[in-house]
């Protein structure tokens, strides 16, 4: 069994915690979709351009069956998810159809901007064996120590349960977000001090103008 085996939220008792106050609290916990840099998000091998970005949405909207991504030439899908700051990723949800098109494995990589399928041959930070989840209630906890400073998350789905293509309706990301540290560059322009030996002028006190 791969590490990070998924477990349902109240799954054994038939309750997913999606109603009432508990549902509201759970929805807030899965709010990292709001911290994605949408302009740089990539989904490789998507059949319809831009469809991969739509699976990252509010937990309460996961039941929208018109919003999904389907792979194109084979069963593989690769998401490159850049964040607007630093993320501590705690868990993921992967929701698909209850059939062969549901992804059966997920490999997570961190901080590899614009990762390609060739890059996916390297060792992932964590691998999950997925179970079919048509309602979006199975949570797969991450090894938080490995995902405590993530600015780029790559999610590679190499295979499914036997269909020619893979279909995903919703991907949930749970964790904490902190604003990234912007490196401010200080540019200082100094007026040169003339050499009295070269120029018969009075010494001039240098002035500096610094722009942060």
Assign residue 162 the CATH number of its domain: 2.60.120.470
| Residue 16, in any domain of the structure | yes
| Residue 191, in any domain of the structure | no
The pTM of this model reads: 0.75
State residue 24's pLDDT score: 66
| Residue 201, in any domain of the structure | no
Whether the per-residue pLDDT at 3 is higher than 50: the answer is: no
Q: How does 42-71 read in b/e, with b if 16+ C-beta sit within 10 Å? A: bbbbbeeeeebbbbbbebeebeeeeebbbb
Q: Please state the domain count of the chain.
A: 1
State residue 11's pLDDT score: 35
Tokens standing for 160?
Answer: 């499914």
State residue 180's pLDDT score: 77
| Residue 205, in any domain of the structure | no
| Residue 135, in any domain of the structure | yes
Minimum mean pLDDT range among 104-108, 183-187, 202-206: 183-187
174, 176, 172: which is closest to 56 by C-alpha?
172
State residue 27's pLDDT score: 74
State residue 181's pLDDT score: 59
Mean pLDDT of the chain: 83
Burial (Cβ within 10 Å: 0-12, 13-18, ≥19) of residue 29: middle
**SS3 state at 144:** helix
CB 146 within 8 A of CB 73: no
How many residues make up the chain in this entry? 212
Minimum mean pLDDT range among 5-14, 45-54, 69-78, 195-204: 5-14
Strand partners, 97: none
| Residue 199, in any domain of the structure | no
Tokens standing for 174?
Answer: 């749970």
| Residue 1, in any domain of the structure | no
State residue 200's pLDDT score: 52
* Torsion sign (Cα): 7, 77, 85, 31: negative
Q: What is the pLDDT confidence band of residue 23, given thresholds at 50, 70 and 90?
A: low
DSSP 3-state helix, strand, coil percentages of the chain (rounded to 5)? Answer: 15, 35, 50
| Residue 200, in any domain of the structure | no
> What is the biggest distance separating any 2 CA atoms in the chain, rounded to whole angstroms?
93
* H helical segments located in 56-116: none
Domain that holds residue 59: 7-182
CB 180 within 8 A of CB 86: yes
State residue 188's pLDDT score: 40
State residue 124's pLDDT score: 98
């Amino acid at each position: 069994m791969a590490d990070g085996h998924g477990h349902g939220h109240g799954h054994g008792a038939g309750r997913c915690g999606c109603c009432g106050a508990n549902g509201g609290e759970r929805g807030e916990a899965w709010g990292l979709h709001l911290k994605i840099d949408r302009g740089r998000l990539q989904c490789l091998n998507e059949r319809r351009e831009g469809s991969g970005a739509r699976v990252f949405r509010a937990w309460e909207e996961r039941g929208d069956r018109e919003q999904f991504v389907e792979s194109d030439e084979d069963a593989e899908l690769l998401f490159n998810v850049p964040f607007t700051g630093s993320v501590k990723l705690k868990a993921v949800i992967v929701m698909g159809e209850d059939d062969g098109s549901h992804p059966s494995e997920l490999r997570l990589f961190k901080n590899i901007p614009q990762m390609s399928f060739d890059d996916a041959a390297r060792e992932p930070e964590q691998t999950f064996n997925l179970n079919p989840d048509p309602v979006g209630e199975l949570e797969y906890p991450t090894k938080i120590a490995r995902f405590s400073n993530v600015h780029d998350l790559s999610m590679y789905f190499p295979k499914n349960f036997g269909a020619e293509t893979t279909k995903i309706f919703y991907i949930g990301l749970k964790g904490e977000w902190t604003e990234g540290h912007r490196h401010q560059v200080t540019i200082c322009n100094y007026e040169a001090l003339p050499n009295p030996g070269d120029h018969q002028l009075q010494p001039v006190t240098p002035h500096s103008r610094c722009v942060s």
